[in-house]
Amino acid sequence: MSTTLINIKTDVVLKRQAKEVAKDLGLPLGTIVNSYLRELVRERRVIFASPPALNKRTQRLLEKIDRDIVAEKNFDGPFSPDEAVAFLDSV
């Protein structure tokens, strides 16, 4: 198999971070890039992932829980394991 060179422009910090991660994985950065290119050719798609977003109901619920924690309302504990089981049995 013959090889060729690809020149791409990327952020300096991103390149440094990617090289560090690759090194931690015990791989050269070129091996990882080639793996992504093979996947692109094989799958014929590009996946851009972002962390899942909370729906509005869940977000409101978590905000209410945070307010309750600050106000020291609507929570019990801390428990020992036996106290936790007893509490759950009483509910």
DSSP 3-state percent helix, strand, coil across the chain (nearest 5): 60, 0, 40
Predicted model pTM: 0.53
**11/65 Cα distance (integer angstroms):** 40
The four Cα atoms 24, 28, 34, 36 give a dihedral, to 10 degrees, of 10
The pLDDT tens digits along the chain (91 residues) read 899 999 999 999 999 999 999 999 999 999 999 999 999 999 999 988 888 888 999 999 999 999 988 888 877 767 888 988 988 898 7
17 phi and psi angles, rounded to 5 deg = -65, -40
**37/35 Cα distance (integer angstroms):** 5
